[in-house]
Amino acid sequence: MNELIRQAQLMQKKMLKAQEETGKKEIETSVGGGMVTVRATCAGELLSVKIDPAVLEDVEMLQDLILSAVNEVIKKGKDTVQAEMSQITGGMKIPGLF
């Protein structure tokens, strides 16, 4: 029983370290053929938004592109974190961790 607890504690330490490191990773996504590019951390912190000046004349399209890019970069970040955690847990789903 003590061995099982020790292994669980070790896995928890590895997961916390991986979450911290993964959260700092930067990801980028572009939409609209590169008209809008968003860069963020896997923790969800937006770092930059680049907008092609050609799209500035169509406000509705620009709004849609920004929304799409932000949603996509957040999804990529979550997917990256989940993939990292799966490597540590061996694919085991642990409720409440990620």
For residue 22, which of 2, 44, 1, 4 has the smallest C-alpha distance?
44
For residue 52, which of 40, 41, 38 has the smallest C-alpha distance?
38
> 62 with 52: CB under 8 angstroms?
no
Residue 89 has pLDDT above 80, yes or no: no
Q: Given pLDDT bands bounded at 50, 70 and 90, which one contains residue 93?
A: low
Quick one: tokens of 17?
A: 């370290």
Does the predicted model carry a pTM greater than 0.95? no
Concatenate the DSSP letters of all residues of 15-52 into one string.
HHHHHHHHHH-EEEEEETTTTEEEEEETTS-EEEEEE-
